[in-house]
Structures are given as structure tokens and as C-alpha cells.
A and B are shown apart, each in its own frame.
Chain A
Amino acid sequence: MESGVFHTDYRTDMGLRRVPAERLRLGLFAAALLVFPFLASPYWLNLANQIAIATIGALGLNILVGYTGQVSLGQGAFMAVGAYTSALLTLRLGLPWGVSIVAACFATAAVGVFFGLPSLRLKGLYLAISTLAAQEIVEWVVTHWPALTGGVEAVVVPAPRLFGQRLNTDFGFYWVGIVLAGATALFTANLFRSRIGRSFVAVRDQDIAASVIGVNVFGTKLLAFATSSFFVGLAGALTAYYRNIISWERFTLETSVLYLAMIIVGGLGTIRGSLFGAALITLLPAMIATAGRELQQSAPAVAALLPSVQQAAFGLVIILFLVFEPAGLSKLWRNVKDYFYVWPFAYRRGEGR
């Protein structure tokens, strides 16, 4: 009798989901995703859509920061490039939304490569500061080039339609959001099983060693910037089509920092971490706020203090994560799995997988 899971051919051994339990969990998750929009209220759908967009953006950022080790503070800027490119292509040139979203992704990738050029010479904090410049430059261009971007005024994006149905309703967009988030996750998962993805990780872990074993370090960094920005641009373009209206205020440095928080809290260099982080950072303020509204009725005195408490609580959660589980929610999830793997026994044989 087999006690355990044994792979007898390469195909199953290299599968993305190797164990029945993993496949079962994925199935359950997919089923939950399919049922969710029929049960959820518009408010929860709105949050879910925001999480879907944030997941795509966080996956993009994770490719650059988590997997390749290039810290970027330009997330907001790259999202702005994606959002404005797609919006303006539809608005000015009348391109269909699908085409302009794809074009926006490539445009953002190009901009990403441009701002990735300093990575030839700069590493770590120095590179982070140079991407901060990207953030400031893009923000400045958007607000000071009214002929192209409408300047500080908001840009109204035509509603995307599919088979005569408007797609930017909470319900309609949900499907676009989860399909694209799923595709992005699948692509990223496979990317890091390929030669290119492995070279990203090699550059992160030790760039000199990587170049010794034949990785073109600079080219790899630029490719990481391009791949990352492609998805970040997608997140930006989706924001534009979902929200119908964009203004530069949506893509500030705060956005960049929030996305960094997502991948740090979620888990650097993991795919499920991007999802967990996006969900937590989106849901936490919403939850605290809703809890606050409950208190408005039962304990008005406490509720009056709440706006300030909210911000502190948000900060506290992030600090607690950094202190107690630097590897993020993704590691936490693995701990839970490890615990139940041998439950009710206390120890398991060998290393945790």
C-alpha cells in the first residue's frame, strides 16, 4: 500500500498542483469564486473587484520586488501610465477597449524598461530612490500636460461593452477581474518554472554569482521591469475601465507604498502572497471602518475617536506582521497547512515542504 504521494513520471512530478489536497483546495476556491457574485451584495462585489485589480498589480510588483529583488517605488506611476494610455487610446483614437488595454500593457512595459535603465548601476535603496523619480516624473507629466492627459481634470472613460452588455458594473466586471487575475497568477507561476524566471531569482539572490553562471544580469533586470510593468499597466487599465473616471489622485506615491505593503504583508516572492496581501490591505480599512459605524450607534464616544484609531490599527497590523512573520501571510498559510498535515500529532517527519 502506498503511504504518501509518489510521482512515477515527470509530468505529474512537475505539475503546478502535485498533491490531491492542493487540487481539491484549488477546486473549492474556484467554486467559491464562481458562486460568490450571485450571493454577494454590490458592496462586497465592489471590494472583490478592487481586490482582483490589486492582485494583478501586486503580482506585477512581486515579479520585480519579490522575485528579482529590485525595489520599486514607481508602482503608482506605472499604474497611471496603464490607466491613461488605455483611456486616451479609446477616447482620442476610438480604439475598442480590449485593444487599448493590451496596448496600454505594452506601453507601460516600455515605460517600465526606461525607468529600469538606472538598475544597470544602481542597487537596493539607490534604485528605490531612482524609481521614486519615476513616480514624481509621471505624476508631473500627467498633471502638467493638459493637452494630452486632461491635466488635473478627471478623464471620463467610455464604458466597455461586450455583446451589448456594459462590463463596468460590479457584477460584469467581476468576471473580467477574476479571469485576468487568474491568468496573471498562472503566467507568473509558470514564469518562475522557466529559465527566464529562474534567472530573475538568481539575480535577486546573488547577482555576481548569476553573471558567473551566464545570466545577463542587466538584460534580466530590464526584462523583469518590462514583465512587471506589463501587469501593473494591466491593473491600471482595468482601474480606468472599471471606475469610468480617472484622475491623477488615484496614482500617487501613496499607491506605490500601499502596493509595497501588500506584497510585504502577503509574502515577497510568492503568488498566493500577492492575493492575500491585496485582500488584506483592501479589506482591513473597510472592515475597521464598518466596525466603526456599528460603534456609532452603540458607543458614540468610542466612535468619535475611531478615525484616528483606524489609521493606527492599520499601521499596527503591518508592524505586527513584519515583527512576527516577516515572510508574510503566505508563510502563515503554510504554517497552518503544516500543522494540519500531521494533526493531531505534534511533529512531522523531516522538513516542512
Chain B
Amino acid sequence: MRSSRFAFTAAGGLILSVALVACGGSGERAENEILIAVIFDLTGPTADVGLDYAEGVQGHVEWLNARGGVGGRPVRLIYQDYGYQVDRAEQLYTQFVQEGALIFMGWGTGDTEALRLRIAEDRIPFSSASLSHVLGDAHESPYNFLVATSYSDQFRIVLRWIAEDHRANGGEGNARVAFMHNASPFGLSPWVQGGEDYAREIGVHVTPYEMPRGATDYTAEFSRIGQSGATYVVFQNTSAPAAVALRNARGLGIDATFVCLNWCANALLWRLAADAAEGVVGAIPWAPLTADVPGVRDIRDYLESRGDDYGDKTNAYTQGWWTMAVFVEGIRRVLDAGQELTGENIKRALETIDGLDTGGAGPPLTFTPSDHRGSKGLRLFRAEDGRWTPLTEVLTAP
């Protein structure tokens, strides 16, 4: 009894002290600082790619501030891990907006959907790492901006490439594709938002397969895929589960061409799947850090100046970096026009971006008042000897 009372006093004290720290003032804030809020997934199910994305976003801000900020004003990030939990995202959103954030950068499809209506009401420009097609519809989601090719466009580009590749290799009849996706809105988004219709239109036979969260074995799925005669497998998932599936498929001797959309086509796939990743085709909107283009060189110089090895980072880093860069461009345009810095003005400024040069890191970006899908095209890469080597030129979504 005595010891339990002591332990409880201790535990109570601990909770109380955490609460006190938590309630304390949130630091001084310079007068001309520009506040941008971000939530990252550092501990949740998509943390495998979330870490690099987070570092990319932070890296860009540090790089920018070292060069004097935007229009002479420094940018301050307020950020927090939300562990892929929608409730946490909503709490953090209210907290950050209240602290004066002008822009909010979300992460997953779930939290972005959950906040879509509120950001429009609060007039907070919003980007997400989720590239769900509907989020680019400026009528439905007026404050969401997609800074890369939407999942649906990526999938359509891949399907068209598959149809051509199938013919070029002398395949008979229609190409058969297995679409293996994360069991979530993120996973199904390319399929339900236009992918299914397009596949029917061009005569590619696609069957979707769900990849349950946390699965360590996909033998059942692959035996069905093997029986269906599919010769292409497209993944819409993050690197870790895709790597598990790849190793599994190689082990089972599945003879198919594997294609990764966006979130599994990165250096992490190599690290996790090793040889099993050889020959995988990647739909990559933002170039890997190994690409020698001006838009990536800035990032490499920055990382080297910090003594970091860019070889360790994935293209999620590039995506984080450039997502932030696009918003900074919006802010710059508002300041250059001498307007007041508000969410609404930043949104309008972003809508004037026409053919923003990303230095080859991605295709040029264009936003209009009716279309917030920044780019419609991407390059396909192929994994060869531990590197993503360009396979095609920039392809535009049909």
C-alpha cells in the first residue's frame, strides 16, 4: 500500500510536470517570421518514407533561411509527428492555425480528407504528401494543392506504358495487370479515381488486390496472381510492404514486370528488397538524389555542407524539399506584389504559377484557379544495379 502510494505520487508528479511544460509559453516569435505548420509521420505505418519527407521539408527551410529567407523574412516551421492518426492531425491543425500558421502541410490521404473542408473555411493553403486525384479539383477542394502528378495520373501513365510494353514484347491479346494496393484510401485512390475507367478504355485487364496492413506474407495473393496469368504487377504502397511483396514474389518465382508508383519507388526499396528490386519500374514524380540535375544539386550541396551522405536519402526527400519550395514561391509572389500575407493571397499567388522550373527535379509546375494539379507528367525509371536509371522521357498523363 505504501509503495503503491509512493509510485502514484511519482506518476502523478510526472504527468503534472509534463502538463506544466505543455501548457507553458510556446517560445518567442520574431516579428517578421512566416509560420508554416507541418505534420509528419515519424512513428506511424508510413514512417518508412515519412522520415525522409520530413527531413526534406526541414532541410529546405534551413537552406532557405541561411540564404536570407523569403523576401528578407525568415520562415519558421512548427511541426509535430502525428503517427498517421486522423484525430491527432485535427488537434494539431487547430493548435497550429491558432498559433498563426499561414500554410499547413499534411501527410496522408486520411488526414488530408478530414481537414479538406476546414482548411477551405479557414483559408489555409494545404499540401499533402497524398496525391489523391480529387484533392487537385479546385472546385471540391479550393485550398488543396498537389505539387506532383496525382496517383491517378501516375497509374494511367503506367497503364499506357504497360499496354505499349506488352505489344512491343510480342504479347498476345490484352495485357493482364495485378494492382496491389495498400488497404486504405491512399491505396485505392488511383484505381477508383479514373484508373479503372482508363484500363477498360485502352483494353488492359486489371485486377486489384488488397495488401493488408502489417502483412508479412503475400503467398495467397501471388498464387492468385500467378493463376490469373498477369504479367505486370503494379504496387501502390510504401516501400516497406512493397519490398516484402517483392521478396515474396521472387521467392515464389513469379515471372512478371513489377511497377512501383510514387511511394515505393525509392532508394529504400533497394535497401529493403536488395536483389529482388532489380528490374522494378518506378513512376517517380520527383527525381532521386542520385540524378544529376540542377533541381537536385541544390539539395546535394546542402546535405554535403552538413556532412550528410545524400546516398542515404530517398526521393521522398526531394518531394519534401520541393513541396516546401513551391509554397515558398507562393509566399514570394505575394510579398513581391506588396500584398498582405494571408492564406487567401497565397492561394491566389500559387494559382498564378505557370510552368515553374524545378530544375529537372520534377516536371514544370502549373496551377490555375480551376486546376490545382501542379503537374500531369513524370518519368519512368528502372532499377538497375542499385540505381534508378531513367527508362523514358517525361510522359504526360493521357
Task: Spell out A's residues near B (CB within 8 Å).
Answer: 41-43, 46-47, 50, 143, 146, 151-154, 156, 170, 243-245, 247, 249-250, 283-294, 296-297, 306-308, 310-311, 317, 320-321, 323-325, 332, 335
Known interface pairs A320-B7, A325-B4; A289-B81 also in contact (CB < 8 Å): yes
Contact (Cβ within 8 A) B88 A249: no
**Which of B11-19, B154-162, B167-175, B361-369 lies at the interface?**
B11-19
Contact (Cβ within 8 A) A244 B118: yes
Tell me the smallest distance from the CB of A81 to a CB of chain B, in Å: 18
Known interface pairs A289-B81, A293-B80; A324-B95 also in contact (CB < 8 Å): no
Known interface pairs A244-B118, A293-B80; A151-B90 also in contact (CB < 8 Å): no
Choose one: A243, A250, A288, A294; the contact of B27 (CB below 8 Å).
Answer: A294
Tell me the smallest distance from the CB of A151 to a CB of chain B, in Å: 7
Q: Is B293 an interface residue (CB 8 A)?
A: no
Tell me the smallest distance from the CB of B213 to a CB of chain A, in Å: 9
By DSSP majority rule, is chain B's interface helix, strand, loop, or mixed? helix
Choose one: B19, B43, B113; the contact of A247 (CB below 8 Å).
Answer: B113
Choose one: B83, B98, B183; the contact of A43 (CB below 8 Å).
Answer: B98
Q: Is B26 an interface residue (CB 8 A)?
A: yes
Interface residue range, chain B: 35 or more
In the complex, chain B residues whose CB is within 8 Å of the CB of A294: 21-22, 24, 26-27
In the complex, chain B residues whose CB is within 8 Å of the CB of A152: 184-185, 187-188, 192
In the complex, chain A residues whose CB is within 8 Å of the CB of B43: 307-308, 310-311
With the chains together, A308 CA to B87 CA distance in Å?
A: 19
Contact (Cβ within 8 A) A154 B114: yes
With the chains together, A287 CA to B192 CA distance in Å?
A: 39
Contact (Cβ within 8 A) B11 A46: no
With the chains together, A156 CA to B134 CA distance in Å?
A: 13
A-B contact count (CB 8 A): 110
Choose one: B24, B90, B110; the contact of A46 (CB below 8 Å).
Answer: B90
By DSSP majority rule, is chain A's interface helix, strand, loop, or mixed? helix
Question: 8 Å CB contacts to A: which residues of B373-396?
Answer: none
Interface contacts beyond A43-B98, A153-B113, A325-B4: sample of 20 additional A-B pairs, CB < 8 Å, sorted by A: A50-B91, A151-B188, A152-B187, A152-B192, A154-B185, A156-B117, A245-B116, A247-B114, A249-B86, A249-B110, A249-B184, A250-B87, A285-B88, A291-B18, A291-B21, A308-B43, A310-B81, A317-B11, A324-B8, A324-B11
- Nearest-CB residue, chain B, relative to A170: B94
Write out, one digit per residue, whether chain B residues 106-147 have a CB within 8 A of any chain A CB (1) or not (0).
000010011011100000000000000000000000000000
Tell me the smallest distance from the CB of A130 to a CB of chain B, in Å: 20
Contact (Cβ within 8 A) A287 B19: yes
With the chains together, A61 CA to B94 CA distance in Å?
A: 29
A-B contact pairs, 9 of them (CB 8 A): A250-B110, A288-B22, A294-B22, A306-B81, A307-B43, A310-B43, A317-B11, A320-B7, A324-B8
